[in-house]
Chains A and B, each alone.
Chain A
Amino acid sequence: MDKHLLSAGDLTAPDITRVLDTAAHLAKVTDRAIKKVPTLRGRTVCNLFFEDSTRTRISFELAAKRLSADVINFSAKGSSVSKGESLKDTAITLEAMGVDAIVIRHGASGAPWRLAEWVEAVVVNAGDGTHEHPTQALLDLYTIRQRFPSFEGLKVAIVGDVLHSRVARSNVLALTTMGAEVTLVAPPTLLPARVETWGAAVSYDLDAVLPKQDVVMMLRVQLERQRAGYFPSLREYARLYGLDGRRLDTMADHAIVMHPGPMNRGVEIAAEVADSLERSVIADQVANGISVRMALLYLLLGGPTEGFGEPQRGAPMGRGAA
């Protein structure tokens, strides 16, 4: 794996498995009386957020703090960015202050790649425009793996505004790498051009797709999309592509419902579905986000140079020949 985490597509199946395994071990830290390990003492992680985000920023902040890293939260509002400072100058300033990792959320697709060219620090993409959100995909895979033994042949539907969804793109990349069969379900206006090259099936008919799925991932519908003319009305969207109790009943008994949040209850997901104790794993997704981000920070910052290096399973410490 690369030095940075920019795209879910950069991760191989063994990389993803290692992140998920490490996350499973680190999840136990949260259950302890002392919810902290000294692993990244003396390392500094900067959350560089140019877009509003509550859960992702807090999740990264908690993950870094549980590993004993120092955390700086930088939000564009009220910073020198609002005075017109460029991303490059902001990056150079942070580098000069000696940060070891920059977690970036930016409205422009590709911003993390530019940042990675300018700084020595590890760059983690926490969502760039309508492009990618790899840590969300990894926490979704972790949540799926808690319910299903293998991704091989697992049927996953991703439903909603695929066109503007960085969650959908990263999930398709990670899920197909792991051997899952992904179906994208959306009105034609909310599917990107050349979606057929993504390696996922495409459908406009949610009712036909639902009964065959193991996992149904609902995407947030941004309300301003309706004003922009992508669909006629929220009511019509909810009727055709919303997951309500009636549709839930057509799903297989073992199938689960996911949502990256924040939810529009009554639009893409009905309250009774979101709160369903048997089906909904939405609260698990939030909790798992911390463990997965701890695993990533450990794997990206816990080594000497770049990337994961070779996994050293049970390698004896200093016992072998030099």
Chain B
Amino acid sequence: MSGPATVLDAADVQRALVRIAHEIVERNKGTEGLVVVGIHTRGVPLARRLAAKLGEIEGRQVPAGALDVAMYRDDIGMRPPQATHDTELPFDLAGKVVVLVDDVLYTGRTVRAALDALTDFGRPRAIQLAVLVDRGHRELPLRADYVGKNLPTAPGQAVRVQLAETDGDDGVVIEGPAEKAVAS
């Protein structure tokens, strides 16, 4: 089968985010000193939603930020320059626990760039990683602390995350030949 297949529908995405929010609260014993930072593009609305859920669970606001990693990539000069975005971190990172949020964890290179970018803004006490989908095939020694869905994929496949804020509706779709799919 090679047509697009829905892996998570809108309700699945919603449930995954609620579960991740509870895991974050459990792991950190609350939300004291916690900030949520989304990686452009789709990590940003995910981070805002997670921050809102954390606020509902604990009854206190959790600040959310946005991080652009285009200037920190390790493939600059290897392909056309990536579009840039605004980095907005309306808080001091020193001593905070940062939950970094992205839609798909794949090679790990975006997250590596994000770690470098964050370091330029301050020295958090800890950085944790939350992703909606982990599709495996890491090229760097990184792992996520919170995963919405582990999705075995083949390298030739594409995982498309759609969010209401950017695409009109929530959902995760996998495209391309699946015969050689392997678990991470």
Q: Of residues B81, B116, B159, B175, which shows the largest number of chain A Cβ atoms within 10 Å of its Cβ? A: B81
Contact indicator A40/B76 (Cβ below 8 Å): yes
Q: Does B26 contact A (CB under 8 A)?
A: no
Which of A25-33, A47-55, A105-113 contacts its partner?
A25-33
A62 to chain B, nearest CB (A): 16
- Chain B residues near A302 (CB, 8 Å)? 76-77, 81-82
Contact indicator B82/A315 (Cβ below 8 Å): yes
Known contacts A32-B120, A302-B76, A304-B78; A319 and B158 CB within 8 A of each other: yes
Q: Does B71 contact A (CB under 8 A)?
A: yes
- Against B, the Cβ 8 Å flags (1 = close, 0 = not) of A286-322 are 0000000000001101111000111111111111111
Known contacts A37-B72, A314-B40, A317-B110; A301 and B77 CB within 8 A of each other: yes
Contact indicator A303/B81 (Cβ below 8 Å): yes
In the bound complex, what is the Cα–Cα distance between A314 and B75 (angstroms)? 15
Total interface residues on B, using CB and 8 Å?
A: 40
Known contacts A37-B120, A314-B40; A319 and B81 CB within 8 A of each other: no
Contact indicator B83/A304 (Cβ below 8 Å): no
Contact indicator A37/B71 (Cβ below 8 Å): yes
Q: Does B91 contact A (CB under 8 A)?
A: no
Chain A interface mostly helix, strand, loop or mixed?
loop
- Against B, the Cβ 8 Å flags (1 = close, 0 = not) of A21-44 are 110111011001110111110010
In the bound complex, what is the Cα–Cα distance between A36 and B157 (angstroms)? 36
- Chain A residues near B78 (CB, 8 Å)? 304
- Chain A residues near B13 (CB, 8 Å)? none
- Chain B residues near A311 (CB, 8 Å)? 80, 83
A98 to chain B, nearest CB (A): 14
Known contacts A316-B104, A318-B106, A322-B156; A303 and B79 CB within 8 A of each other: yes
Q: Does B96 contact A (CB under 8 A)?
A: no
- Chain B residues near A29 (CB, 8 Å)? 71
In the bound complex, what is the Cα–Cα distance between A170 and B79 (angstroms)? 29
A318 to chain B, nearest CB (A): 5
- Against B, the Cβ 8 Å flags (1 = close, 0 = not) of A101-132 are 00000000000000000000000000000000
Contact indicator A25/B68 (Cβ below 8 Å): yes
Known contacts A39-B72, A317-B110, A322-B155; A26 and B81 CB within 8 A of each other: no
Q: Which 5 A-B pairs have the closest CB atoms?
A: A309-B80, A302-B81, A314-B41, A37-B71, A25-B84
Give residues in A with beta carbon < 8 Å to B: 21-22, 24-26, 28-29, 32-34, 36-40, 43, 67, 298-299, 301-304, 308-322
Give residues in B with beta carbon < 8 Å to A: 40-42, 68, 71-73, 75-87, 103-104, 106-107, 109-110, 116, 120-122, 135, 155-160, 166, 175-176
Sample of 18 A–B contacts (CB below 8 Å): A21-B83, A22-B84, A24-B86, A29-B71, A37-B71, A38-B116, A302-B81, A303-B79, A311-B83, A313-B83, A314-B41, A314-B166, A315-B82, A315-B83, A316-B104, A317-B82, A319-B158, A322-B155
